[in-house]
A and B are shown apart, each in its own frame.
Chain A
Amino acid sequence: MKNHSLVLATLGCSAGLMYAAAAPAQVDLSGQWVLESTQDAVKYDEGPLTDMFAGIPLNAQGQQAGITYPGDEGQELNRQCQPWPTHYLLMGPWGGRFAAVRDDQGQLVAWSLSSPAYDRLPITIWMDGRPAPSPLSLHTFGGFNRGRWEGSTLVVSTSMLKDAYLERNGLPSSNRETDTFFFTRHGDEMTLMAVIKDPVYLQTPWVLARTLKLLSEGSVVNDPILYCMPAEVLAGFTDGYHSAIELPPREAQQAAFMLKRYDLPPMATLGGARTMYPEFAKQLDRVYRIPTAYCSLYCTADGHLLPQGPRQIQSR
């Protein structure tokens, strides 16, 4: 009898252990996550540099759209409240709040990922395996998001996005963009990586990563933006070079602008897949000279950004 009990217990435990091994290791992501990475702080805060697309695998159409972007477009009434699509998770200064959405049985149906800023709408990440809607269905800034667990990593596939911007300096994104997000929690930190694919404007996937930090319960997010801003004008767009009526610049004009502003040739600032790889740095060695003038644009000495106007004023 005793042996029989032991057999039963062993059977039960074995089955249980097998279940534990097979079950996806879901992780509780609930809470307010804020940006911890300090890389690209200028880009997240003040905005990306004007016409600076290096490291972005733009195709020719994306490059043209970027350099002809009218810098004051953000002031147009119909664009003042335009939200960002989901990829802004990787580019904006915000993290987001994860909240579990459960059914009346307590099963996880979805994650809601909201933003402390008005300009990225809440994202619903469906975890119930529902099929994607028809491609002809309404595309939104939040898109259609399906999540699955790979170990303790939440992998989210995004589609059905609206035409929008890829970057705040005017790079576009199309309604054919698809994204894959990987959220991996490491204690109170989380690594987020995204693979952004857009057959209209990108040559190859654009891969970005950042680290988020969990705010302790009761903490508040600094400087949430809860209302629509009347305009967004990046520092470089007030130079008279960009305006809503500016025609596409001539090649020589553009090259001169790039050299004045960034000490870089257009082969770099126009972006493209090759600008992401180490061998491109070796190509640049032949044409790049380290600036001799002391930095005057987006220099930071103490962690605070100190935009003091375009470098061209002092260095050239």
Chain B
Amino acid sequence: MDTLRVRLSGRRDARRSGAAMLGCSLAGAVLLVCAPPLRAQQPAAASKPPPSARAQEPFDPTGYWVSLITQNWQYRMVVPGRGEYADIPMNAQAKKTADAWRSAADIAAGKQCEAYGAAALMRNPERLHVSWQDDQTLRVDIDEGMQTRLLHFKAAASGTPPAASLQGYSRAHWILDTTVNTFGASLPGAVGHPPYGSLRVDTNDLLPGLLRKNGVPYGADTTMSEYWDLRTLSPTQQWLTVSTKVEDPEYLFEPYVYDSIFQKEPDGSKWDPSPCSLTS
């Protein structure tokens, strides 16, 4: 701030002839100097609660979305045969487990939903219904397998770790585009509602499950990270890409990375809930 005062005091003689013009012309130069003090002066504002995740959303993820199966078709649209493990970086232990796996045994044990865990869920042919459960929680319902994912923008109050589950526990936050510039440096926060950004989701506390319906496993230590991005060509041409990285020290020798595409639908008329299945 001292630097700013020195610069401004050096121009006092010109203030009567064009103070406003001077302010404007200095705007760009002053920006980098004054931004940190402005941030430092914010304690008064800090008493206000931060905006909710819903209020901050850089794009509207809500509504109905249908998956487009344009990649990896033969492993997603139909149940592949035994040994069809292409495209998954599975290790020898995973191959041994998958080779020994039989769907009949798991069906008899009522474990049909093991292929609908978070690590593989977004790969299935399905529809999503995305809605805000509350201002800090995004709810993603999936018709195929009738699963629900909850994306928590605010950590649970309790210090107790959540129990492991099929969909695990997902922490989410928005990445607002106004925080970067050409060279990756921080810019001051934008005024008003930021128009662009991504959603980052990190998931753990997963129960073991299947990456593919022919028995390719993932273990209890699996973690998953996702980037959700909205792509728009026109109001009726919108897609959501969900780029997923699955890491599993037990069964994968490197991260399993895949990209799922969802196309926006005008309504829920094609919503078709159906139970989990290991044979279709």
Is A209's CB under 8 angstroms from B74's CB? Answer: no
Could you give, for residues 288-307 of chain A, a 1 whenever the CB lies within 8 Å of some chain B CB and a 0 otherwise?
10111111101111110100
Contact partner of B84 (CB less than 8 A), chosen from A21, A268, A299, A305, is A299
Q: Does A239 contact B (CB under 8 A)?
A: no
What is the minimal beta-carbon distance from B210 to any residue of chain A, in angstroms?
A: 14
Q: In the complex, which residues of chain A have a beta carbon less than 8 angstroms from the beta carbon of B53?
A: none
**Is the Cβ of B231 less than 8 Å from the Cβ of A27?**
no
CB of A241 closer than 8 Å to a CB of B: no
Contact of A27 among B26, B78, B90, B184 (CB under 8 A): B184
Residues of B within 8 A of A54 (CB): 73-74, 77
* A11 x B23 contact (CB < 8 A): yes
Provide the A95-129 mask, 1 if CB < 8 A to any CB of B, else 0. 00000000000001000000000000000000000
Whether A38 sits at the interface, judged by CB under 8 Å, is yes
Mask of B236-257 contacts with A, CB within 8 angstroms, 1/0: 0101010101000000011111
Are A4 and B175 interface neighbours, CB within 8 A? no
Given contacts A12-B27, A20-B187, contact A25 B78 (CB under 8 A): no
- Chain B: how many interface residues by the 8 Å CB criterion? 93
Q: Are A39 and B195 in contact (CB under 8 A)?
A: no
Once A40-B72, A182-B231 are accepted as A-B contacts, the answer to whether A26 and B182 lie under 8 Å apart by CB is yes
The stretch among A59-67, A136-144, A251-259, A279-287 that forms the contact with chain B is A279-287
Closest CB in chain A relative to B231 CB, distance in Å = 5
Cβ of B67: which chain A residues have Cβ within 8 Å of it?
278
A226 within 8 A of partner (CB): no
A38, B85: Cβ atoms closer than 8 Å: no
Verify if B190 is at the interface (C-beta below 8 Å from A): yes
Contact A41 B86 (CB under 8 A): yes
Q: Is B195 a contact of A280 with CB atoms below 8 Å?
A: no
Q: Are A39 and B71 in contact (CB under 8 A)?
A: yes
A275 at the binding interface (Cβ < 8 Å): yes
Contacting residue for B243 out of A191, A276, A298, CB 8 A: A191
Chain B residue numbers with a CB within 8 Å of A303 are 89-90, 253-254
A16 within 8 A of B: yes
The answer to whether B87 and A41 have CB atoms under 8 Å apart is: yes
| A40 close to B270 (CB less than 8 A) | no
Partner of B86, one of A16, A206, A305: A305
Q: Chain A: interface secondary structure?
A: mixed
A186 to B69 alpha-carbon distance, docked (Å): 24
A191 to B231 CA separation, bound complex (whole angstroms): 11
Contact A13 B31 (CB under 8 A): yes
Known: A182-B231, A299-B84. A11 touches B92 (CB 8 A): no
Nearest CB in chain B: distance from A171 CB, A: 13
Q: Contact: B27 with A277, CB < 8 Å? A: no
B184 and A25: CB pair below 8 A? no
Name, among B31, B86, B272, the residue most crowded by chain A CB atoms within 10 Å (CB to CB): B86
A108 to B175, CA, bound (A): 25
Given A5-B9, A13-B38, A293-B81, A38-B258 contact (CB < 8 Å): yes
Known A276-B68, A291-B81: A151·B258 in contact at CB below 8 Å: no
Give the chain A neighbours of B9 by CB distance below 8 A: 5
Most buried by A among B24, B70, B80: B70
Near A by CB (< 8 A), chain B positions 218-240 give: 227, 229, 231, 233, 237, 239
Q: Which of the residues B86, B95, B241 comes within 8 Å of A193, measured between beta carbons?
A: B241
Please tell me if B191 contacts chain A, counting CB pairs below 8 Å: yes
Q: Is A18's CB within 8 Å of the partner chain B?
A: yes
A-B contact pairs, 19 of them (CB 8 A): A5-B9, A8-B22, A16-B27, A16-B28, A19-B31, A49-B74, A56-B70, A150-B196, A151-B196, A153-B229, A186-B200, A191-B259, A193-B261, A209-B259, A288-B78, A290-B80, A290-B81, A301-B85, A301-B90
